[in-house]
Amino acid sequence: MNTFPLPLTQLIHENLSVVMMFIYSRRPLAEFRHGKFVGTWKYLDRALFDIADEKVTKALIELALFIRHLDDEKKISRVLTAISVRETGAEESKWTFGNAIDEIGTKTPLTMREVANKILHSTGFGWDLNAGPGPILICTAHESQKKRAKWVRAEIEINQVAAACGLLMS
């Protein structure tokens, strides 16, 4: 029996939808704005970009909370590892979602649970929408995380997160 009173996978899908719409509409909106409107358009820029930034931040935090809770209940990080081990016979999961990077540049692959943790323990988010493998969410660690967990930033491959969320039934 699910102990959480909300439909977790549905909420995960709803928040993922906001994140993906943000990512894949950002460039066309910028092209539209700069191609059709010359000069300063304070309120248009707010409507097209600032509000979207606020909404995607909220969606990322909610997505991380729900993924973390689902992982607590259903161990989805372990399930994803089991799927990849069964498919490839490898001991290491092919389900990685980016990397945590320490102060000297050492990269450590992230599981789905660690993605949620990095989002929740971030001071802010940035984006690399032109990255080779696909859009990258860049999370910056709190000072306390830099000292305790020894990561300064995380680079999360959003398309990988979307693929894993796409395996969840809602």
Domain total of the chain:
1
Structure tokens at 139: 């999370």
| Position 58 in a domain | yes
| Position 170 in a domain | no
Identify the residue with better confidence: 74 or 146: 74
Q: How many helices (H) and strands (E) does the chain have?
A: 7, 5
| Position 112 in a domain | yes
Chain segment 64-103, per-residue pLDDT in tens: 999 999 999 888 888 777 665 455 555 555 678 999 999 9
| Position 2 in a domain | no
CA distance 119 to 103: 18
| Position 56 in a domain | yes
Residues 48-57, mean pLDDT to the nearest whole number: 98
Residue span of the structural domain in which 12 resides: 8-165
| Position 28 in a domain | yes
| Position 19 in a domain | yes
Chain segment 87-144, per-residue pLDDT in tens: 555 555 567 899 999 999 999 999 999 999 999 999 999 999 998 889 999 999 988 7
| Position 3 in a domain | no
Structure tokens at 64: 């991380």
